[in-house]
Amino acid sequence: MKITYREAVRQALRDALTRDPRVFLMGEDIGRYGGSYAVTKGFLEEFGPERIRDTPLSELAFVGCGVGAALGGMRPIVEVMTVNFSLLALDQIMNNAALLRHMSGGQFSVPLVIRMATGAGRQLAAQHSHSLEGWYAHIPGIKIIAPATIEDARGMLAPALADPDPVLIFEHVLLYNMEGEFTVPEADIAHARVRREGADVTLITYGGTLWKTLEAAEALAEDGISAEVIDLRVLRPLDDATFLESVRKTRRAVVVDEGWRSGSLAAEVSARIMEQAFYDLDAPVARVCSEEVPIPYPKHLEEAALPQAPKIVAAVKALLPKK
């Protein structure tokens, strides 16, 4: 059966609402409007305004309200329309959601799920094209997940909700319309996955760039280069073991990340490989990230700013001995 990523997220949410009366949704335009990415269309009618709460444009307050509701025994799923607006809620995410458990000496856990769209590629210009999941992955106390596949979009919500600590879910905007065969959902929020096996180089990525990376791996295969593709899935805590095992096998790594290069998640992954697998490497770890510019509006400039399959192919070829 073929479904879209949007439908997979939607099924996961409906499932959560059906199974647990403590679960409710809160966010901008999720109810009457149906969700800015149409994920929650029809939910208001199905579950009612108590559980499908349209909020005012008050990101800081409704995210903080989610923290409080989680403390109070509910299982809120807060939708911050996009990562771009999450900056308005950053204080509550960082200073309350993430810190509360440690700061209270373990007395208060915050079982809160925050969903948001992330990433560029729709010509939405600089303020609407951020990829800041790497920033969030900097913060101890929260978990960061980035479902890139239909299975993960369907499967990662339930364990996120079951987790006693805050989990932030980043859904790449370009994925909502992606169609795919729906199989059994993958259910953990702890492990990276090998999405394509290979022998010559390991490509490590997550979220929206997974598909560009797989495209690059396909192109490399045509040139006789066998690339293994790792989907991180969970950006905090990182599953080092899975990508290290692959890097030890292929002895080369390229990290692909839509975040800006400086201080990026790619930098973190690269450092971990260097720290733990330095002597297994045949070449320095390479990175393909976004150019360090605000993402521009015109299509050709936007494309030039973002990681693309040809850039990934070129980065891989630069690591391999000339044939």
Contacts with other proteins, residue ranges (CB under 8 A) = 24, 50, 53, 55-56, 58, 60-74, 76, 91-92, 95-96, 100-109, 140-141, 143, 163-165
Report, in Å, the least distance between residue 193 CB and other proteins. 20
What is d(CA 183, CA 236) in angstroms, rounded to the nearest whole number? 26
Q: Please name which of 154, 116, 195, 140 lies closest in space to residue 5, comparing C-alpha atoms.
A: 154
To other proteins, the closest distance from the beta carbon of 23 in angstroms equals 11
Cβ proximity to other proteins: between 164 and 310 the closer is 164
Question: In angstroms, how far is CA 253 from the centroid of its own chain?
Answer: 20
Instruction: Give the residue with the Cβ less far from other proteins, 104 or 177.
Output: 104
Residue showing tokens 């991180």: 232
C-alpha 316/C-alpha 2 separation (Å) is 33
Structure tokens at 269: 């992954």
**Which class for 210: exposed (0-12), middle (13-18), buried (19 or more C-beta within 10 A)?**
buried
Q: How far is the CB of 236 from other proteins (least distance, A)?
A: 10
Active-site entry in 45, 46, 50, 59: 59
Q: Judge whether 104 and 52 are in contact, CB under 8 Å.
A: no
Catalytic entry in 28, 45, 79, 128: 128
Least distance in angstroms from the C-beta of 69 to other proteins? 4
Integer angstrom CA distances of residue 240 from 68, 187, 197, 210, 319: 33, 19, 17, 18, 22
First vs last Cα of the chain: how many Å apart? 43
Nearer to other proteins by Cβ, of 61 and 125: the residue is 61
Report which residue type is found at 114.
Answer: I
Looking at residue 185, what DSSP letter applies? Answer: P
Nearest distance in Å: CB 168, other proteins: 14
Spatial distance between the Cα atoms of 229 and 20, rounded to a whole number of angstroms: 36
Under 8 Å between Cβ of 309 and 212: yes
CB of 145 vs other proteins, minimal distance in Å: 14
Considering the complex, state which of residue 89 and residue 289 has its C-beta at the smaller distance from other proteins: 89
Q: Give the separation between CA 101 and CA 164, rounded to whole angstroms.
A: 10
302 carries an active-site annotation: no
Q: Indicate the residue among 106 and 224 with the shorter CB distance to other proteins.
A: 106
Pick 24 or 37: Cβ nearer other proteins:
24
Q: How far is the CB of 57 from other proteins (least distance, A)?
A: 9
Apex 209 CA angle, 203 and 213, nearest 5: 40
What backbone torsions phi and psi does residue 44 show, to the nearest 5 degrees?
Answer: -60, -45
Compare residues 141 and 198 and give the one whose CB is closer to other proteins.
141
Contact 12, 154 (CB under 8 A): yes
Q: For residue 128, indicate whether it is catalytic.
A: yes
Catalytically annotated residues: 59, 128
